[in-house]
Amino acid sequence: MSPDDRRHAPAADRNKAPLLEVLARVFPASGLALEIAAGTGQHAVFFARHLAGRGGDGVLRWQPTDRDEDALASIAAWRDAEPHPALLPPLPLDVTADDWPVDRADAILCVNMIHISPWEATVGLMRGCKRLLAPGAPLVTYGPYAVDGEHTAPSNAAFDASLKSRDPRWGVRDVADVAACAREHGLLLEERVPMPANNFSLVFRRV
């Protein structure tokens, strides 16, 4: 891949350190971490490097995925530019599909997908997590969420309106709705972590 294939999202640079704090606390020290909707690939190279060596002899391998071909090219280009033995080649993955390219994971991360996709994608995410995760394994999602039917900031309300104007199937979801969907698929919301720019990390555990 050419370095020109690398895409860059300023938000990924802003949120990677706060996200790392959450992941270092709740992700296992070894095994396979599956990243859903990995986007540019900036998070993949950062998290693979910083989370790989916490397990003594064990290694947390990082598997980035995305459904978009341009995103997959960007992830591959970032991996070529900043190689790390724990960072695996990106794989195509559509969360709404019945079959995913991996059949198990020790942890799953999904950043900024739930609000920029139809609700069916959230259902597919939770359904896939039920298949792949063992009891006790974590799913972490990140993005803007409403709480008890209310936006947490005027900027989130404006963002929600903008999303729905682009696609009426998109929009900022309520934490309770996402938690209910997760619960239907065997995952319980363990923690809601406030993050910069009026976002949250939601930590789920497979029961």
Other Cβ atoms less than 10 A from the Cβ of 107: the count is 22
Residue 162: is its pLDDT beyond 80?
yes
The candidate with the shortest Cα–Cα distance to 132, out of 107, 150, 165, is 107
Instruction: Give the integer Cα–Cα distance in Å for 43 and 56.
Output: 23
| pLDDT band with cut points at 50, 70 and 90 for residue 56 | low
Give the mean model confidence (pLDDT) for residues 32-55. 94
Residue 54: is its pLDDT beyond 80?
no
The candidate with the shortest Cα–Cα distance to 46, out of 103, 111, 92, is 111
The candidate with the shortest Cα–Cα distance to 63, out of 94, 31, 96, 99, is 31
- pLDDT for the residue numbered 171: 98
Residue 83 phi/psi, 5-degree rounding, is -65, 145
- pLDDT for the residue numbered 143: 98
Are 201 and 143 contacting, i.e. CB atoms less than 8 angstroms apart?
Answer: no
The candidate with the shortest Cα–Cα distance to 34, out of 93, 83, 80, is 93
| pLDDT band with cut points at 50, 70 and 90 for residue 2 | low
- pLDDT for the residue numbered 55: 67
pTM: 0.97
| pLDDT band with cut points at 50, 70 and 90 for residue 53 | confident
pLDDT digits (tens, 9 = 90+) for 74-122: 999 999 999 999 999 999 999 999 999 999 999 999 999 999 999 999 9
Give the chain's end-to-end CA distance (angstroms, integer).
Answer: 40
Q: In what order do the strands lie in the sheet with 91-92?
A: 91-92, 60-66, 31-36, 107-111, 138-143, 199-206, 187-195
Domains with residue ranges and CATH for the chain: 3-206 (3.40.50.150)
